[in-house]
């Protein structure tokens, strides 16, 4: 254990002392750059707090590392769900998309919140009754197939890498703004923080930190918003009491100004940035993607029973709604104070609005700390899910089931570090805006995992052959769409038939159809063991007693 800590500390020091840390990097943000003492002090204080909590909540068992010993309450788990969910994409990216796309950007809010309704009604209780540790484990047991387990683990890792890329991008933007670093240097700085933070915490420490981080991020998000509207009430033409409603007055004022036609088109014209099909495809993909994200689904395993799991979803949706209700107001402020910022401002519109408004460094520092908390909390959940997919579902279950508890914990930390290193390279050249990167991860989850889970819960005839075929179709299709998007293939582009960010509208039903057809065609190939294993899982999930 001492050797492990030594090498982790060495890696952390290397990341902190790398010569690229303060080098000129990719300029993805337009803010007043340079070291800011007060915000830096605030941010460092919160980082120290997170590390201290992680240290105090160190775990020595796999149950503590993967599912926080299953003793989290409904409100606490709801806060953790919200913190896990409200990533850099939500904190900064949604306002940025509304800033660029206006009315069309609401598809992100509709999709992400609507997904929790699917979780509440279709899978939350059933997954908790099943128990265990991970989604790959659930699917592997339900279909009695190591192949299903492994392909789900692969999908989980792909989602973790894709989703984390967006978080590192957001964290790096914040670090660069506070400490004056270049973009590349900020990525290494953020990686060092996340690495140490995660390896100490495990799911138990992560959950406790996420509860703290929710308070930080939601107050950091809302406090400057209320102050700006109050301070500039007369200038904005609003009472300055409830920004979530009053931002409409800003838009109305622009409508009365003939020089603001471009601004009005973004916000008032429903299809200025996309047609109905594109909006519906995006919202649907985000909805079912939410219900298929492993790092969100695993939160149902951290509570004691299905009743707490259901209540956790309701609390989580409430806490998430507080932020999404406010994002459009920030977008409107961004246009008011920085109307010509374009894409370079979109990812940091949350920061640019308070700075352009002239708020003090304390408020900007607290806001930056909230953004950092949003990114860190999500990365922590993703790294746990990704590491579990490899260390628990591949190494401990398939490759070496005889491994000891100590060995499994060691491998979990090794794979966590490996995932962080991989994400560094993807974050150094992100392919799209923060929220769009996340949408691609949702497309993978919705296309590959969601149909297998829903059919596994509600369709008794679904078997390992059908699930495998369907998941391969969904996964391959989503990855191809992502590659096509990056290489600017029109079919997979923003205005194509199957955009990478919206591909689940086509791929999820295709996955389900292939699953059902193949399952019905291969019933005779099932062994007694396959049938018995599936029936046992179904009995547990639906609380059936003989």
How far is it, in rounded angstroms, from Cα 200 to Cα 527? 43
Q: Which range among 34-38, 43-47, 298-302 has the greatest average pLDDT?
A: 43-47
CB crowding 363-396: b at 16 or more within 10 Å, else e: bbbbbbbbbbbbbbbbbbbbbbbbbbbbbbbbbb
Instruction: Spell out the domain ranges in the chain.
Output: 1-57+67-542
pLDDT at 472 over 90: yes
Whether domain 1-57+67-542 has CATH 1.20.1730.10:
yes
Q: What would the pLDDT profile of 277-309 be if each residue is shown by its tens digit?
A: 999 998 999 899 888 888 788 777 777 777 888
Residue pair 126/333 in contact by the 8 Å Cβ criterion? no
Q: Which range among 8-22, 93-107, 137-151 has the greatest average pLDDT?
A: 137-151
Q: What would the pLDDT profile of 444-470 be if each residue is shown by its tens digit?
A: 889 999 999 999 999 999 999 999 999
Ranking 127-136, 144-153, 526-535 by mean pLDDT, the lowest is 127-136
How far is it, in rounded angstroms, from Cα 402 to Cα 291? 33
How far is it, in rounded angstroms, from Cα 310 to Cα 398? 32
Q: What would the pLDDT profile of 226-262 be if each residue is shown by its tens digit?
A: 888 888 888 887 888 898 888 888 777 776 665 555 5
The band of 6, judged by pLDDT with boundaries at 50, 70 and 90, is very low
Higher confidence at residue 127 or residue 436?
127
**Rg, Å, the chain Cα set:** 23
Q: What would the pLDDT profile of 387-420 be if each residue is shown by its tens digit?
A: 888 887 888 888 888 888 778 778 878 888 888 8
Q: What would the pLDDT profile of 481-513 be if each residue is shown by its tens digit?
A: 988 887 889 999 888 999 888 899 999 999 999
Residue pair 79/319 in contact by the 8 Å Cβ criterion? yes
Cβ count near 301 (within 10 Å): 24
Instruction: State the DSSP code for 464.
Output: H
Q: Where does 338-433 have alpha helices with state H?
A: 343-346, 349-356, 361-390, 405-427
Q: How far is CA 466 from CA 94, 148, 524, in A?
A: 36, 10, 13
Residue 499's Cβ-side half-sphere holds a number of Cα atoms within 13 Å equal to: 24
Residue pair 484/492 in contact by the 8 Å Cβ criterion? yes
Q: Residue 197: helix, strand or coil by DSSP?
A: helix
Residue pair 316/143 in contact by the 8 Å Cβ criterion? no
pLDDT value, residue 304: 77
Q: How far is CA 338 from CA 71, 250, 355, 368, 370, in A?
A: 46, 13, 10, 19, 22
Residue for token pair 């010993």: 69
Residue for token pair 């690495």: 195
Which whole number is the average pLDDT over 119-147?
86
How far is it, in rounded angstroms, from Cα 89 to Cα 166? 7
**pLDDT over 70, % of the chain:** 82
Which whole number is the average pLDDT over 326-335?
84
**pLDDT over 90, % of the chain:** 16
Residue pair 281/499 in contact by the 8 Å Cβ criterion? yes
End-to-end CA distance of the chain: 48
Residue 369's Cβ-side half-sphere holds a number of Cα atoms within 13 Å equal to: 28
With 0-12 / 13-18 / 19 or more C-beta atoms within 10 angstroms meaning exposed / middle / buried, residue 354 is buried
Residue pair 187/172 in contact by the 8 Å Cβ criterion? yes
The band of 42, judged by pLDDT with boundaries at 50, 70 and 90, is confident
How far is it, in rounded angstroms, from Cα 154 to Cα 298? 16
């Amino acid at each position: 254990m001492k050797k492990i800590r030594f090498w982790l500390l060495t890696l952390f020091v290397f990341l902190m002392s790398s010569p690229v840390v303060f080098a000129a990097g990719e300029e993805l943000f337009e803010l007043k750059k340079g070291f800011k003492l007060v915000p830096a002090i605030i941010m460092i204080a919160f980082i120290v707090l997170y590390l201290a909590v992680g240290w105090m909540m160190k775990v020595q068992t796999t149950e503590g590392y993967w599912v926080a010993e299953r003793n989290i309450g409904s409100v606490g788990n709801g806060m953790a769900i919200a913190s896990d969910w409200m990533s850099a994409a939500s904190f900064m990216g949604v306002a940025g998309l509304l800033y660029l796309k206006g009315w069309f950007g609401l598809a992100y809010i509709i999709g992400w919140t609507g997904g929790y309704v699917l979780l509440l009604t279709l899978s939350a209780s059933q997954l908790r009754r099943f128990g265990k540790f991970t989604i790959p484990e659930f699917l592997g047991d339900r279909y009695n197939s190591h192949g299903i387990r492994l392909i789900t683990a692969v999908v989980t890792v792909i989602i973790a890498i894709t989703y984390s890329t967006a978080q590192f991008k957001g964290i790096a933007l914040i670090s660069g703004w506070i400490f004056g670093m270049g973009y590349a240097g900020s990525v290494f700085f953020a990686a060092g923080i996340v690495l140490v933070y995660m390896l100490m915490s495990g799911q138990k420490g992560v959950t406790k930190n996420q509860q703290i981080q929710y308070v930080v991020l939601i107050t950091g998000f809302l406090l400057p918003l209320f102050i700006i509207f109050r301070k500039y009430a007369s200038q904005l033409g609003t009472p300055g009491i409830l920004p979530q409603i009053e931002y409409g007055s800003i838009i109305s004022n622009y409508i009365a100004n003939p020089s603001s036609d471009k601004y009005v088109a973004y916000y008032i014209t429903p299809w200025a940035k996309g047609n109905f099909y594109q909006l519906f495809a995006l919202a649907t993909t985000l909805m079912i993607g939410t219900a298929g994200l492993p790092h969100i689904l695993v939160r149902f395993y951290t509570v004691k029973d299905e009743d707490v799991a259901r209540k956790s979803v309701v609390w989580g949706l409430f806490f998430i709604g507080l932020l999404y209700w406010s994002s459009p107001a920030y977008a409107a402020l961004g246009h008011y104070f920085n109307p010509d910022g374009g894409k370079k401002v979109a990812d940091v519109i949350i920061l640019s609005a308070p700075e352009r408004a002239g708020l003090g460094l304390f408020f900007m520092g607290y806001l930056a700390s909230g953004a950092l908390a949003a990114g860190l909390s999500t990365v922590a959940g993703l790294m746990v899910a990704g590491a579990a997919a490899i260390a628990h579902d591949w190494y401990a279950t398939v490759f070496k089931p005889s491994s000891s508890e100590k060995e499994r914990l060691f491998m979990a930390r090794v794979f966590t570090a490996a995932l962080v290193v991989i994400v560094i390279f993807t974050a150094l050249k992100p392919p799209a805006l923060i929220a769009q990167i996340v949408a691609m991860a949702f497309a993978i989850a919705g296309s590959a995992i969601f149909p297998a889970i829903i059919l596994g819960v509600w369709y008794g005839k679904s078997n390992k052959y059908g699930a495998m075929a369907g998941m391969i179709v969904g996964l391959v299709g989503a990855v191809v769409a992502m590659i096509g998007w990056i290489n600017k293939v029109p079919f997979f582009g923003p205005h194509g038939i199957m955009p990478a960010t919206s591909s689940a509208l086509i791929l999820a039903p295709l996955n389900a159809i292939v699953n059902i057809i193949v399952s019905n065609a291969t019933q005779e190939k099932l062994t007694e063991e396959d049938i018995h294993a599936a029936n046992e899982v179904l009995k547990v999930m639906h609380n059936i007693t003989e």
